[in-house]
Protein backbone atom coordinates (compact mmCIF):
# COMPACT_ATOMS: atom_id res chain seq x y z
CA UNK A 1 0.00 0.00 0.00
CA UNK A 2 2.80 2.39 0.97
CA UNK A 3 4.73 1.41 -2.15
CA UNK A 4 1.72 2.19 -4.35
CA UNK A 5 1.30 5.53 -2.58
CA UNK A 6 4.95 6.46 -3.14
CA UNK A 7 4.80 5.43 -6.80
CA UNK A 8 1.67 7.55 -7.19
CA UNK A 9 3.41 10.55 -5.66
CA UNK A 10 6.42 10.11 -7.92
CA UNK A 11 4.22 9.82 -11.01
CA UNK A 12 2.21 12.88 -10.01
CA UNK A 13 5.41 14.81 -9.41
CA UNK A 14 6.84 13.78 -12.77
CA UNK A 15 3.62 14.79 -14.53
CA UNK A 16 3.59 18.18 -12.78
CA UNK A 17 7.23 18.78 -13.70
CA UNK A 18 6.52 17.81 -17.30
CA UNK A 19 3.61 20.25 -17.40
CA UNK A 20 5.71 23.04 -15.95
CA UNK A 21 8.43 22.31 -18.49
CA UNK A 22 5.93 22.59 -21.34
CA UNK A 23 4.40 25.75 -19.88
CA UNK A 24 7.81 27.34 -19.48
CA UNK A 25 8.71 26.71 -23.11
CA UNK A 26 5.29 27.83 -24.34
CA UNK A 27 5.61 31.07 -22.37
CA UNK A 28 9.11 31.66 -23.71
CA UNK A 29 8.02 31.19 -27.32
CA UNK A 30 4.85 33.28 -27.00
CA UNK A 31 6.60 36.16 -25.25
CA UNK A 32 9.22 36.40 -27.99
CA UNK A 33 6.69 36.06 -30.80
CA UNK A 34 4.32 38.62 -29.34
CA UNK A 35 6.54 41.24 -27.72
CA UNK A 36 10.20 40.22 -27.91
CA UNK A 37 9.91 39.73 -24.15
CA UNK A 38 8.86 43.32 -23.38
CA UNK A 39 6.30 43.53 -20.59
CA UNK A 40 5.27 47.19 -20.83
CA UNK A 41 3.86 47.38 -24.35
CA UNK A 42 0.36 47.71 -25.79
CA UNK A 43 -0.39 46.96 -29.44
CA UNK A 44 -2.60 49.02 -31.72
CA UNK A 45 -5.66 46.91 -30.82
CA UNK A 46 -5.19 47.17 -27.07
CA UNK A 47 -3.53 43.81 -26.39
CA UNK A 48 -1.33 44.06 -23.33
CA UNK A 49 2.13 43.21 -22.11
CA UNK A 50 4.70 40.52 -22.55
CA UNK A 51 2.18 37.94 -23.78
CA UNK A 52 -0.21 40.41 -25.46
CA UNK A 53 -3.24 39.46 -23.39
CA UNK A 54 -6.69 40.19 -24.76
CA UNK A 55 -9.43 41.50 -22.49
CA UNK A 56 -11.44 38.26 -22.55
CA UNK A 57 -8.42 36.23 -21.45
CA UNK A 58 -7.83 38.62 -18.56
CA UNK A 59 -11.49 38.32 -17.60
CA UNK A 60 -11.30 34.52 -17.71
CA UNK A 61 -8.37 34.40 -15.28
CA UNK A 62 -9.77 37.01 -12.90
CA UNK A 63 -7.47 39.94 -13.68
CA UNK A 64 -10.30 42.04 -15.11
CA UNK A 65 -13.76 42.36 -13.56
CA UNK A 66 -16.08 39.83 -15.20
CA UNK A 67 -19.24 41.60 -14.07
CA UNK A 68 -18.08 44.96 -15.42
CA UNK A 69 -17.01 43.43 -18.72
CA UNK A 70 -20.33 41.64 -19.18
CA UNK A 71 -22.38 44.70 -18.33
CA UNK A 72 -20.48 46.87 -20.82
CA UNK A 73 -20.33 44.46 -23.79
CA UNK A 74 -22.62 42.36 -25.94
CA UNK A 75 -22.03 39.89 -28.78
CA UNK A 76 -23.57 39.31 -32.17
CA UNK A 77 -22.62 37.17 -35.17
CA UNK A 78 -20.74 38.69 -38.10
CA UNK A 79 -19.58 37.40 -41.46
CA UNK A 80 -16.32 36.19 -39.92
CA UNK A 81 -17.23 35.62 -36.27
CA UNK A 82 -19.83 33.49 -34.55
CA UNK A 83 -19.96 35.96 -31.66
CA UNK A 84 -18.07 39.23 -31.99
CA UNK A 85 -17.79 41.51 -28.95
CA UNK A 86 -19.20 45.03 -29.16
CA UNK A 87 -19.09 47.80 -26.56
CA UNK A 88 -22.13 49.58 -25.13
CA UNK A 89 -22.68 53.32 -24.74
CA UNK A 90 -19.83 54.33 -27.03
CA UNK A 91 -17.20 52.70 -24.82
CA UNK A 92 -14.06 51.19 -26.35
CA UNK A 93 -11.62 48.52 -25.26
CA UNK A 94 -9.02 51.14 -24.41
CA UNK A 95 -11.58 53.11 -22.42
CA UNK A 96 -12.46 49.98 -20.46
CA UNK A 97 -8.83 49.06 -19.80
CA UNK A 98 -7.85 52.58 -18.80
CA UNK A 99 -10.38 52.60 -15.95
CA UNK A 100 -8.78 51.10 -12.79
CA UNK A 101 -12.26 50.21 -11.50
CA UNK A 102 -12.46 47.48 -14.15
CA UNK A 103 -9.38 45.73 -12.80
CA UNK A 104 -8.97 43.29 -9.92
CA UNK A 105 -5.38 44.52 -9.66
CA UNK A 106 -4.60 47.56 -7.54
CA UNK A 107 -3.42 50.31 -9.87
CA UNK A 108 -5.14 48.82 -12.91
CA UNK A 109 -3.57 48.77 -16.35
CA UNK A 110 -0.37 50.64 -15.51
CA UNK A 111 0.30 48.38 -12.53
CA UNK A 112 -0.26 45.26 -14.63
CA UNK A 113 2.07 46.47 -17.38
CA UNK A 114 4.82 47.33 -14.90
CA UNK A 115 4.70 43.97 -13.09
CA UNK A 116 6.34 41.26 -15.20
CA UNK A 117 5.98 38.62 -12.49
CA UNK A 118 2.22 39.24 -12.38
CA UNK A 119 2.06 38.79 -16.15
CA UNK A 120 3.97 35.51 -15.85
CA UNK A 121 1.53 34.33 -13.16
CA UNK A 122 -1.41 35.38 -15.32
CA UNK A 123 0.00 33.38 -18.23
CA UNK A 124 0.37 30.31 -16.03
CA UNK A 125 -3.31 30.62 -15.08
CA UNK A 126 -4.34 30.99 -18.71
CA UNK A 127 -2.28 27.98 -19.81
CA UNK A 128 -3.88 25.83 -17.12
CA UNK A 129 -7.33 27.02 -18.13
CA UNK A 130 -6.68 26.38 -21.83
CA UNK A 131 -5.26 22.95 -20.99
CA UNK A 132 -8.54 22.09 -19.27
CA UNK A 133 -10.55 23.44 -22.20
CA UNK A 134 -8.55 21.47 -24.76
CA UNK A 135 -8.78 18.26 -22.74
CA UNK A 136 -12.54 18.80 -22.40
CA UNK A 137 -12.68 18.82 -26.21
CA UNK A 138 -11.00 15.42 -26.26
CA UNK A 139 -7.41 16.39 -27.04
CA UNK A 140 -4.63 14.26 -25.57
CA UNK A 141 -1.92 16.66 -24.41
CA UNK A 142 0.46 14.02 -23.10
CA UNK A 143 2.73 14.54 -26.12
CA UNK A 144 4.77 17.72 -25.49
CA UNK A 145 4.82 18.78 -29.14
CA UNK A 146 1.03 18.46 -29.43
CA UNK A 147 0.52 20.31 -26.16
CA UNK A 148 2.81 23.16 -27.19
CA UNK A 149 1.24 23.51 -30.63
CA UNK A 150 -2.30 23.62 -29.26
CA UNK A 151 -1.50 25.93 -26.34
CA UNK A 152 0.40 28.43 -28.48
CA UNK A 153 -2.34 28.42 -31.13
CA UNK A 154 -5.01 28.77 -28.43
CA UNK A 155 -3.32 31.85 -27.04
CA UNK A 156 -3.33 33.41 -30.50
CA UNK A 157 -6.82 32.55 -31.73
CA UNK A 158 -8.67 30.95 -28.84
CA UNK A 159 -9.27 27.30 -28.04
CA UNK A 160 -12.07 27.02 -30.60
CA UNK A 161 -9.94 28.22 -33.51
CA UNK A 162 -6.97 26.12 -32.38
CA UNK A 163 -9.19 23.04 -32.18
CA UNK A 164 -10.61 23.61 -35.66
CA UNK A 165 -7.15 24.03 -37.13
CA UNK A 166 -5.85 20.88 -35.41
CA UNK A 167 -8.85 18.78 -36.46
CA UNK A 168 -9.79 20.15 -39.86
CA UNK A 169 -7.00 22.48 -40.96
CA UNK A 170 -9.40 25.44 -40.77
CA UNK A 171 -7.29 28.58 -41.00
CA UNK A 172 -7.92 31.64 -38.85
CA UNK A 173 -6.34 35.07 -39.34
CA UNK A 174 -6.30 38.05 -37.00
CA UNK A 175 -6.80 41.71 -37.90
CA UNK A 176 -3.18 41.96 -39.01
CA UNK A 177 -3.47 38.98 -41.36
CA UNK A 178 -1.36 36.70 -39.16
CA UNK A 179 -2.48 33.06 -39.46
CA UNK A 180 -3.06 30.59 -36.66
CA UNK A 181 -1.07 27.97 -38.59
CA UNK A 182 2.10 29.96 -37.88
CA UNK A 183 1.48 29.74 -34.15
CA UNK A 184 0.50 26.08 -34.28
CA UNK A 185 3.71 25.24 -36.12
CA UNK A 186 5.74 27.16 -33.54
CA UNK A 187 5.02 24.38 -31.05
CA UNK A 188 6.18 21.70 -33.46
CA UNK A 189 9.31 23.74 -34.24
CA UNK A 190 10.10 24.43 -30.59
CA UNK A 191 13.07 22.03 -30.52
CA UNK A 192 14.66 24.11 -33.26
CA UNK A 193 13.87 27.24 -31.29
CA UNK A 194 15.45 25.87 -28.12
CA UNK A 195 18.67 25.01 -29.94
CA UNK A 196 18.94 28.45 -31.48
CA UNK A 197 17.62 30.68 -28.71
CA UNK A 198 21.08 31.77 -27.56
CA UNK A 199 22.03 32.77 -31.10
CA UNK A 200 18.74 34.16 -32.37
CA UNK A 201 16.95 37.04 -30.69
CA UNK A 202 14.14 37.36 -33.23
CA UNK A 203 11.77 34.40 -32.93
CA UNK A 204 9.64 35.73 -35.77
CA UNK A 205 12.40 35.17 -38.33
CA UNK A 206 13.32 31.80 -36.84
CA UNK A 207 9.72 30.58 -36.99
CA UNK A 208 8.66 32.56 -40.06
CA UNK A 209 5.96 34.29 -38.02
CA UNK A 210 4.61 37.75 -38.79
CA UNK A 211 4.77 39.59 -35.48
CA UNK A 212 1.99 41.95 -34.52
CA UNK A 213 2.53 45.67 -34.87
CA UNK A 214 3.15 46.98 -31.36
CA UNK A 215 3.49 50.39 -29.85
CA UNK A 216 4.44 51.67 -26.44
CA UNK A 217 1.67 52.95 -24.23
Instruction: Encode pLDDT of 72-126 as tens digits.
Output: 999 999 876 778 899 999 999 999 999 999 999 999 999 999 999 999 999 999 9
pTM of the model: 0.78
Q: DSSP class of residue 48? A: B
The total of other beta-carbon atoms located within 10 Å of residue 172's CB is 20
- ∠ CA 116-155-28, rounded to 5°: 45
The dihedral built from the CA positions of residue 216, 31, 166 and 206, taken in this order, carries a sign that is: positive
Per-residue pLDDT band at 6 (split at 50, 70, 90): very low
CA distance 207 to 198: 15
Reported as a single tens digit per residue, the pLDDT across 172-204 is: 999 899 999 999 999 887 654 433 333 333 333
Alpha helices in the chain (DSSP H): 2-35, 55-60, 66-72, 93-97, 108-114, 116-136, 144-168, 180-188, 190-196, 203-207
Arithmetic mean of pLDDT, 14-24: 61
What is the pLDDT at residue 20?
A: 60
Of 195 and 164, the structure prediction assigns the larger pLDDT to 164
Arithmetic mean of pLDDT, 132-136: 94
Of 195 and 39, the structure prediction assigns the larger pLDDT to 39
Give which of 12, 22, 15, 16 is closest to 144, Cα–Cα. 22
Tally the C-alpha atoms within 13 A of residue 194's C-alpha that lie toward its C-beta.
13
Q: What percent of the chain has pLDDT over 70?
A: 77
pLDDT at 15 over 80: no
Domain positions in the chain: 25-33+43-210
What is the pLDDT at residue 190?
A: 67
Burial of 149 (C-beta count, 10 Å sphere; 0-12/13-18/19+): buried
Amino acid sequence: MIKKYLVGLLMAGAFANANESVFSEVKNIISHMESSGRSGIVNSRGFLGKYQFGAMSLVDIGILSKSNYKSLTYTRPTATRKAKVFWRNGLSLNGFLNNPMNWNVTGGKSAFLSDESLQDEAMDRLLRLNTQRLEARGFDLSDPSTAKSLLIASHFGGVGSASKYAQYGSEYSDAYGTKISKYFKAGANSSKVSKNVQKEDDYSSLLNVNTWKIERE
